[in-house]
Every structure is written in C-alpha cells, then in structure tokens.
C-alpha cells in the first residue's frame, strides 16, 4: 500500500499523518513546512513535529540503505532537497492564487454594483433636468366653485368658429347614429356565438423584448397602433403580420394611443407629459403638445378629427388642436386639490365627455362652457377606464378594485355593476360599434352582453394584465394587448 502526500501529490517514502487535519504527508516535506510555518498546511492549525504519527505500509519493513558519502549520492540528496523546496513553494502559490481569485471576484462585483448605481443616478439627474427645463409659469383664473380654467399665452380659447364646427359635427353624428340604431348589422355576432371565441393569432415581436410590455392599443380595420414601456409607438398590420411604422421620440413609457380615422396620423401620450402627433408616412413627429406638468394618462380624439382631449396626473384636462399643437383650454377637475385624472373619453356626439379620477368620481363635462354637467359617485376606488356606448345612452367605467359600472346618461343613475373576483384594476373598456357588447381588460379579457349584463366570454390567454381591448367588425373579432408584450387576435 502506498500513500499520497497532501503537499506534493506524489507517493510518500515515509508517510505520517497530522492529528490536526488528518491528512497524510511525506515526513520530509511536512517537517520542513513545520520548521518554516509551525502550522498544518491544510487546516493552518498549530502543529509540532513530535505530534506527527507515522504510518506503516505493508511490506518487508526493511530499512532503506544509508546514503554513502560519495559524490553521486550527495548530488542526489541535493536534488531531492531542491525538489522538496519546489513542492512546498508550489503548494503555497496554489493557496495564494485561490485567495487572490476570491478577492478579485469580490472586487469585480463591487465595481459592477457601483457602475449600476452611477448609471441610475445619472439617468435620474438627466430626467430631473429635463423636467425642470419644461416647467412653465401659469396663472389660474377661478370661473366657479367647481371648475378652474388655466390661462396662459399658449391657449387660444374656444372661438365661435370652433364651437360652430363642433356643433355642426355633433348634429350630423346624432342623425347618423339614430339611423343606424334602427337596424343592427346583419353580420353582428350573437351572444351565444362568443362561446366559440378563440385565439387566432399572437404577435410578440412588435415592441422591444428588453423592456417588455404593451400599455396602450387602438385599431382601425386591420391596423393596430400600440404603445409600450419601451417608449415607442408601433403601427402594425396584424393580418399581414407586418410592422408598418415605428415612432420614437418619447422619453418615458406610453400611456395612451389613438389611430386617426385617416390611418395616416397617429397620436400618443406619454409619462414624459407630452402628446405627440405622428406622420405615418415618414415616422416624423409633426406636432408636440406640451400643456401638462405631469404624466399624460389618457387621450381621446374628437369626432371632427381635428382636436384631442387629454387627461393628466396634474389634475387637469386639456383640449388641443392636433394640427397647430396649440391648447385651446385647460381645466382642473377639482380646484384646490391635486387629484390625478386617470381616464378621459369623448361622447360619440363630441360635445360632452367623461373623466375618471383618483377620487373615484366619474364626471360628465360640457365642452362648450368647460363645466360639469353631471357627476356619478359610486365607485369605491380610483376610476381607471371609461367608455361611451355608440348609441350615446350608456357609459361604462372601471375602477382599480376590479368593479365595472354601467351608467344611464338619460336618467343619470347607475344601472348595473359587475365585480371581478380577482379584484384587479380594470385597465381598458370598449363597446362594439352597436353598443351590444362590452369588452373588459383586467387580469384577463372578458366580454359582457350589455342588455342582459351577463358574461358571454372569458379569455385567460394573456400571462400578464390586459391593457387594451378593441372589437373588430361586427364584434366577430377581438384585439387585445397586455404587459406580457403580446398582441392577440380572437375570432368567432
């Protein structure tokens, strides 16, 4: 039997065991190590030469021959001593190398953490400087007890020509809507058919995969306009699975998007407090509307196609011209307090609109006099989404606690309430073109039949919160987006 030395890794001539570490060494090497260090080479505990225990291997037990004093044996002894020294030095170097590796790894980790902190602080400093540079002085004029209109040089006010244009468009839309209401489209989906609603397409490569999450959606025909956490807006043909245009310019995530009926103009609102109007042909930003002092949370296009409503966390809503970029008016939803406005939408006629805010109150506004026409208290949490029925009679609102309410605008009261079991925020609401069905985007996608107020479809295909829901033609398809970075199409 032969033993291997713990220092040299070679077979031992005179094996001994250390009572401190229990390892076996060649006596010649361990004695020299003890003479230099006084410790065990493995455990580094104190060790004396007389503590070593000799080991006897099987064999004859005959003692080796003594080295004579000739020159050749002397040379061999000198070489043996040199080899022992090299082995001891090699062992020490291996230990020092291991310690150096550990210290280097720790230093690199600290350096990487420091670089990350510096990068984050630099980014925050840049954002703070940009926010400071965009601050503008404003003065506020009190109109009545419920409304505060902010005046600045950028605001032109609602002229008689603009009011006449809006009024003429409203009358035309009212007449068209009454005509459509007499006969429903022949191909309109029936409530029982929604049991067959299945996913037909899923698109996950539209936005950046590095910062995943689609936060806003609008569709026109087979074109979808989406905004994401990656600060970009994308015009996408979901039937051809082709990106038509990508718009870049915002500094923070996108909160809302609107695709103009001409499909050549896209409008986006961002947490950087700006609203941008894009040209789909060359991806240029035609107009930048800078009227709010906090993130813009929602936007809604007037039926005329020339004006946009915007809501913001600065507690104001604003009415602006998308061609000139000028704000025509800016009004506080609750003077004297800072109540964030989470959602806003025009009535189909374009002369009134609704807002939902952090105070859980839904307000209906008259655009002509910028005053409150009605208020609907009833939610117990912040109102996150709002949608008017195409018939103009009903309003749906969704809150942060997963509750959806249907309001009658004629009787000014709550008709029905639908509560989600998940109690998750309702991020998106959308009626189909006839007002027969209501799409809900929360933790999952749900479709309600408005008349019976019953759930006709529930879709859990998304793996994250649903942020956008839109109906296709005749409610036979549904387009949705989610923070799971996917755009999905469901069809009957």
Backbone angles phi, psi at 307, to 5 degrees: -130, 150
Whether pTM > 0.85 for this model: the answer is no
**Is residue 125 in a domain?**
no
165 and 26 in a common domain: no
165 and 21 in a common domain: no
* Structural domains in the chain (count): 2
**Is residue 148 in a domain?**
no
How buried is residue 16: exposed, middle or buried, by Cβ count under 10 Å (0-12/13-18/19+)?
A: buried
**Is residue 147 in a domain?**
no
230 and 377 in a common domain: yes
List all residues 6 or more positions away from 453 whose beta carbon is below 8 Å from its beta carbon.
Answer: 406, 416, 418
- Distance, in Å, from the CA atom of 395 to the CA atom of 414, rounded to the nearest integer, reads 9
**Is residue 68 in a domain?**
no
**Is residue 251 in a domain?**
yes
Q: Which residues of 464-483 are buried (b: 16+ CB within 10 A; e: fewer)?
A: ebbbbbbbbebbbbbbbbbb
Q: What is the pLDDT along the chain (492 residues), one digit of tens a residue?
A: 678 898 888 888 899 999 999 999 999 999 999 999 999 999 889 999 999 999 886 654 444 444 444 578 888 888 898 899 999 999 999 999 999 999 999 999 999 999 999 999 998 898 888 777 666 444 333 334 444 445 444 566 788 888 888 888 888 887 777 776 667 778 888 888 888 889 999 988 888 877 778 999 999 988 999 999 989 999 999 888 889 999 998 999 999 999 998 878 999 999 999 999 998 888 888 899 999 999 999 999 998 889 999 999 999 999 999 988 888 899 988 887 888 999 999 998 888 999 999 999 999 999 988 889 999 998 999 999 999 998 888 999 999 999 999 999 888 889 899 888 778 899 999 999 888 899 999 999 999 998 888 899 999 889 889 999 999 988 889 999 999 889 999 998
358 and 216 in a common domain: yes
50 and 167 in a common domain: no
**Is residue 278 in a domain?**
yes
**Is residue 99 in a domain?**
no
Residue 215's CATH number: 2.130.10.10
444 and 324 in a common domain: yes
Range of the domain at 29: 15-54
389 and 248 in a common domain: yes
**Is residue 76 in a domain?**
no
327 and 198 in a common domain: yes
List all residues 6 or more positions away from 474 whose beta carbon is below 8 Å from its beta carbon.
Answer: 185, 187, 188, 189, 432, 433
Residue 27's CATH number: 3.30.40.10
């Amino acid at each position: 039997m032969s033993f291997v030395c713990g220092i040299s890794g070679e077979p031992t001539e005179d094996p001994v065991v250390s009572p401190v570490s229990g390892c076996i060494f060649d006596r010649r090497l361990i004695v020299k190590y003890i003479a230099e260090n006084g410790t065990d080479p493995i455990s580094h505990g104190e060790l004396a030469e007389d503590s070593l225990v000799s080991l006897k291997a099987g064999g004859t037990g005959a003692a080796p021959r003594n080295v004579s004093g000739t020159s050749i044996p002397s040379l061999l002894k000198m070489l043996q001593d040199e080899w022992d020294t090299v082995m001891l030095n090699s062992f020490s170097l291996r230990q020092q190398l291991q310690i150096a590796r550990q210290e280097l790894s720790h230093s690199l980790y600290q350096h990487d953490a420091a670089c990350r902190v510096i990068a984050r602080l630099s980014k925050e400093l840049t954002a703070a400087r940009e926010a400071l540079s965009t601050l503008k002085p404003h003065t506020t004029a009190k109109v009545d007890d419920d409304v505060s209109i902010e005046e600045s040089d950028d605001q032109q006010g609602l002229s008689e020509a603009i009011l006449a244009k809006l009024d003429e468009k409203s009358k035309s839309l009212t007449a068209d809507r009454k005509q459509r209401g007499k006969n429903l489209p022949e191909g309109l989906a029936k409530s029982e058919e929604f049991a067959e609603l299945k996913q037909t397409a899923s698109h996950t490569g539209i936005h950046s995969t590095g910062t995943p999450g689609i936060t806003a959606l609008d569709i026109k025909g087979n074109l979808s306009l989406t905004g994401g956490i990656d600060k970009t807006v994308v015009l996408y043909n979901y039937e051809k699975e082709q990106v038509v245009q990508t718009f870049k310019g915002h500094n923070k995530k996108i909160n809302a998007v609107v695709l103009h009926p001409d499909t050549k103009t896209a409008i986006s609102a961002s947490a950087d407090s700006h609203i941008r109007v894009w040209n789909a042909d060359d991806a240029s930003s035609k107009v930048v509307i800078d009227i709010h002092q906090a993130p813009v949370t929602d936007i809604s296009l007037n039926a005329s196609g020339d004006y946009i409503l915007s809501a913001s966390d600065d507690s104001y809503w604003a009415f602006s011209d998308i061609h000139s970029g000028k704000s025509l008016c800016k009004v506080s939803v609750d003077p004297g307090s800072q109540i964030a406005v989470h959602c806003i939408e025009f009535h189909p006629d374009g002369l009134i609109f609704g807002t939902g805010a952090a105070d859980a109150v839904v307000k209906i506004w008259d655009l002509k006099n910028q005053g409150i026409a009605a208020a609907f208290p009833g939610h117990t949490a912040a109102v996150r989404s709002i949608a008017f029925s195409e018939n103009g009679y009903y309003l749906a609102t969704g809150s942060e606690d997963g509750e959806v309410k249907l309001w009658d605008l004629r009787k000014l009261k709550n008709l029905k309430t639908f509560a989600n079991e998940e109690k998750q925020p309702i991020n998106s609401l959308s009626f189909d073109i006839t007002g027969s069905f209501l799409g809900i985007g929360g933790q999952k996608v749900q479709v309600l039949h408005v008349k019976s107020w019953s759930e006709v479809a529930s879709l859990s295909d998304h793996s994250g919160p649903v942020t956008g829901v839109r109906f296709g033609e005749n409610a036979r398809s549904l387009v949705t987006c989610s923070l799971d970075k996917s755009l999905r199409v469901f069809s009957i």
